[in-house]
Structure 1
Amino acid sequence: MIFNTTQMPSTRTIVSAVASTTATFMVIRSIARDYLPREVQSYFALKLKDFISSFSNELTFVIDEYDDGLNQNKLFKAAKIYLEPKIPPNVKRIKINLPRKETNISLSVEKNEEIVDVFNGVHLKWKFESKPTPSEAINKRSITKGYRVKDHAACFELSFHKKNKDFVLGTYIPHVLKKSKEISHKKKTLKLFTLGSHRGMIGDKSIWQSVNLDHPANFDTLAMDFDMKKTIMDDLERFLQRKDFYRRVGKAWKRGYLLFGPPGTGKSSLIAAMANYLKFDIYDLELSNLRGNNDLRHILIATENKSILVVEDIDCCIDRQDRLSRARTTNPGVLIPGYEQQQNQVTPADVAEQLLRNEEPELALSGLIEFLETKKRANDDSEAKAAEERGES
């Protein structure tokens, strides 16, 4: 039998060929970098990356810093916060930043650094990139007064196996958003907002001016009856955990408290302790500064969610002065949930307040019945006392 054989190239020949190809590629890249416009370089680099990725099982999501060159992408901000505690120890360059009016330093990776995250057994690779801003976004400078669009915009590239696309969109991304909120909550520098002289358009945040809230009050150091303190903390904790419940029953997720008493009885300290406990900013509102209902509406719309709105001296703006006289007959500095709870009259707000105290229908109803019975006894005692004062039998 006759066999046709082909002589295999030597190792030296292969190495020489690879070196020659590499040298040629380096020369071409150098020429392109020196003579081709940056936009053309970016175009060919993107096409080359797309060509290579067509042979891969990897899928990449690009999360731009700005969704249209002007408005910040919330997902980019969430990813930046989420990745901060996941920066690997072998990274040699880390960017640090201390934002204005903040007390906590933030960390982030430099360009082209990668962070690998493993969630529910799925490996996900994050990469921080910087790319030229699209020309249409840059052209918006001419129609956006006082705003300068950056020539380069940052972005995150999230890469993973194609088969995990639905998992990433349906489970992982919501996890990133939730976790970033938790991290932000822990690092948050609390603010005290007061009304400024500016009254802009509806929702204009510049209505409020802020300073850092450095009040040291907390429930551990607050001078208050232990049972009352525990009642308040339990009520706040229950309120935090029942946002979905409020939505299911069709009520706005908010909680009201009435603090009364002369100066020095601890009202401001209690508010600061609640803010430090909840990690909520404080908005200090004086109704005397308002010009009308429309002004109040603008101010409330400009107030951020998860905050404490403090209305100062609300009794001075209410014609019914009997509320103040009744408050003076009780111990100063007492906190009353629900606004009307100190009165003997039962209002729809009282009923709703009692029903919201427990998600179990039977427990909620039994609590409401006990509340109504207590109110009835208080009314009977008040009527008997009034009759006695009038000299009636």
Structure 2
Amino acid sequence: MWFSTKAMPSYEAILSATASLTASVILLRTIANDFIPESIKDRLFLHLHKISSSLSSQLTVVIEESDGLTANQVFHAANVYLGEKLSSSTPRIKVNKPQKEKRLQVTTDKNQEMVDVFKGVKLKWVLLSTSRNHVLKKNNKNGVLKEEIRYFELSFHKKNREMVLGSYLPYLLQKAKEIKEKNKTLKLHTVDYNGTDYWGSISLDHPASFDTMAMDPTVKTALIEDLDRFSRRREFYRRVGKAWKRGYLLYGPPGTGKSSLVAAMANYLKFDVYDLDLKEIQCNSDLRRLLIGTGNGSIIVIEDIDTSLDSAEDDKVTLSGLLNFIDGLWSSCGDERIIVFTTNHKDRLDPVLLRPGRMDMHLHMSYCTFSGFKTLASNYLRIQDHQLFGEIKGWLDKVQATPAEVAGELMKCEDPNVALRGLIKWFHNRANTEVQDGSLNI
């Protein structure tokens, strides 16, 4: 068997054809940005990239935004890294200033090629997208949700495959983590069924801290020590075979600072907060998807747990589904997670919820104590002592007042004398009311 060399293209001809095709791709991309509709442009670039890659010695790594259930950390790290480092090398970038963010967010735009150099190797990045439709069923009606699927294509010479996978991408993940820590704005996430992972978010700009919390000093110290111990014990949890998570129950009457304590915990740990309203969740499978969509290093809050399950319909979240969410197999889908439950009535909770591993630490948020009052007086009036403090301590021993009620009175005037006398008058009126209805004897 023999082959005719005349019938086969020369090596130089192949290189020439490849170069011509590459130049054509670049030219088409430039024209497409100006003249081709967005819906057609994405498909066109997808096919052109596949053709050009097949005729070269380049290897292309596809990094999708998610796999449909979990977010791809490499994709999001690339978006952060490229926006911070390489945005100056591309003619088009996206700039956004979300409300209450600390700084502008610069990210890459679609179809813009960027070049990074790592250990002397050139690596080409381009962000592409496609779309797909989802059929949604809600209230016995069908709807169609169009979802954009974004992905990066990373191209480099095939001989550098091991270096890219073994060194470059881990380096990118680490640099993106450093950038995010430097620029981090805490987020408050709420359930959003229109989102790709069922979550929507806004900036969490709550000023609460442990210094400003009017709570029992012993309880506060114990909580801080427990959070510190939890944060540094990643390897311990792995060694003992447990998911790296911790559960807290905050219980007490309304107005005792349960929500503010969650914000203080988030600010202390630099964790995002996920507000999980069980009444809004349609079924146990949705609960699992919501859990998967939460990020590592986060606080998941379930408020009013005693009423959330009682009011759930039969086809919604069940106690068994919630327990699997807390400490079953699905609870291990992520690291460094804190679950905070709140209730006004601890005695109404099912005992199975209260055991360690589900609610590891129970924190009683009590009525305002004298030490809590002094914290409030320092916060609102900028005073550490006053001649009326003794009288106020006497009233606090007799009348139950929440920190929110005391703070409300102190906010009425900036003059300490006027504010404190107003608080004493409020105590007096509260006591008279309670005497009349028989709840207080003085």
Taking structure 2 as the reference length, the TM-score comes to: 0.47
Pick closer, same or farther for the CA change 1:126–1:214 going to 2, 3 Å: same
2:250–2:342 CA contact under 8 A, matched in 1: no
**1:217 deviation in Å?**
0.6
Q: Which residue of 1 aligns with 2:79?
A: 80
1:193–1:283 CA contact under 8 A, matched in 2: no
Q: Which residue of 2 aligns with 1:285?
A: 303
**1:233 deviation in Å?**
3.4
Pick closer, same or farther for the CA change 1:112–1:187 going to 2, 3 Å: same
**1:235 deviation in Å?**
3.1
Structure 1 residue corresponding to 2:348, chosen from 307, 317, 320? 317
Structure 2 residue corresponding to 1:166, chosen from 147, 162, 167? 162
Partner-residue secondary structure (3-state), 1:173:
helix
Q: Which residue of 1 aligns with 2:358?
A: none
Distance between the aligned counterparts of 1:230 and 1:122, measured in 2? Answer: 51
Distance between the aligned counterparts of 2:47 and 2:350, measured in 1? Answer: 70
Q: Which residue of 2 aligns with 1:274?
A: 265
Distance between the aligned counterparts of 1:328 and 1:61, measured in 2? Answer: 52
Pick closer, same or farther for the CA change 1:74–1:218 going to 2, 3 Å: same
Distance between the aligned counterparts of 1:333 and 1:163, measured in 2? Answer: 71
**1:92 deviation in Å?**
4.6
Identical amino acids, percent of aligned pairs: 37
Q: Which residue of 1 aligns with 2:123?
A: 125
**1:307 deviation in Å?**
4.4
2:250–2:340 CA contact under 8 A, matched in 1: no
**1:245 deviation in Å?**
1.6
Distance between the aligned counterparts of 1:84 and 1:44, measured in 2? Answer: 25
Q: Which residue of 1 aligns with 2:51?
A: 47
Which deviates more from structure 2 when the two are superposed, residues 94-103 or residues 163-172? 94-103
Partner-residue secondary structure (3-state), 2:144:
coil
**1:171 deviation in Å?**
4.0
Distance between the aligned counterparts of 2:47 and 2:99, measured in 1? Answer: 37
Give CA-to-partner distance per residue, 1:312-336, whole Å, 9 cap, x none: 125231599xxxxxx79999699xx
Q: Which residue of 1 aligns with 2:184?
A: 187
Structure 1 segment 128-167 matched on structure 2, within 5 A: 128-130=126-128, 133=130, 145-148=143-146, 154-167=150-163
1:87–1:115 CA contact under 8 A, matched in 2: yes
**1:145 deviation in Å?**
4.3
Pick closer, same or farther for the CA change 1:212–1:155 going to 2, 3 Å: closer
Structure 1 segment 212-227 matched on structure 2, within 5 A: 213-222=204-213
Distance between the aligned counterparts of 1:84 and 1:262, measured in 2? Answer: 47
Distance between the aligned counterparts of 2:350 and 2:146, measured in 1? Answer: 51
1:64–1:73 CA contact under 8 A, matched in 2: yes
Structure 1 segment 1-393 matched on structure 2, within 5 A: 43=47, 46-51=50-55, 53-54=56-57, 58-65=58-65, 73-89=72-88, 91-97=90-96, 105-110=104-109, 111-118=111-118, 121=119, 123=121, 125-130=123-128, 133=130, 145-148=143-146, 154-177=150-173, 179-180=175-176, 183-184=179-180, 187-191=184-188, 193=190, 213-222=204-213, 232-257=223-248, 259=250, 266-278=257-269, 279-281=271-273, 282-286=300-304, 287-291=306-310, 295-298=318-321, 301=325, 306-318=337-349
Distance between the aligned counterparts of 1:104 and 1:157, measured in 2? Answer: 28
Matched residue type, 1:217: A
Which deviates more from structure 2 when the two are superposed, residues 73-82 or residues 226-235? 226-235
Give CA-to-partner distance per residue, 1:245-279, whole Å, 9 cap, x none: 21210233222445566665544433321112221
Matched residue type, 1:158: L
2:99–2:203 CA contact under 8 A, matched in 1: no
Partner-residue secondary structure (3-state), 1:255:
strand
Pick closer, same or farther for the CA change 1:288–1:211 going to 2, 3 Å: farther
1:60–1:158 CA contact under 8 A, matched in 2: yes
Structure 1's unaligned 5+ residue stretches are 1-17, 199-203, 321-326, 335-393
Distance between the aligned counterparts of 2:147 and 2:54, measured in 1? Answer: 27
2:66–2:72 CA contact under 8 A, matched in 1: yes
Taking structure 1 as the reference length, the TM-score comes to: 0.52
1:260–1:332 CA contact under 8 A, matched in 2: no
Give CA-to-partner distance per residue, 1:327-352, whole Å, 9 cap, x none: 79999699xxxxxxxxxxxxxxxxxx
Matched residue type, 2:81: Y
Partner-residue secondary structure (3-state), 1:79:
helix
Partner-residue secondary structure (3-state), 1:148:
strand
| CA radius of gyration, larger in | 1
Matched residue type, 2:206: H
Give CA-to-partner distance per residue, 1:282-316, whole Å, 9 cap, x none: 52321122137952444574999634422212523
Matched residue pairs, number? 280
**1:167 deviation in Å?**
3.4
Distance between the aligned counterparts of 2:120 and 2:228, measured in 1? Answer: 34
Pick closer, same or farther for the CA change 1:170–1:318 going to 2, 3 Å: same
Matched residue type, 1:284: I
Pick closer, same or farther for the CA change 1:247–1:83 going to 2, 3 Å: same
Distance between the aligned counterparts of 1:40 and 1:261, measured in 2? Answer: 60
Pick closer, same or farther for the CA change 1:215–1:93 going to 2, 3 Å: same
Distance between the aligned counterparts of 2:145 and 2:91, measured in 1? Answer: 34
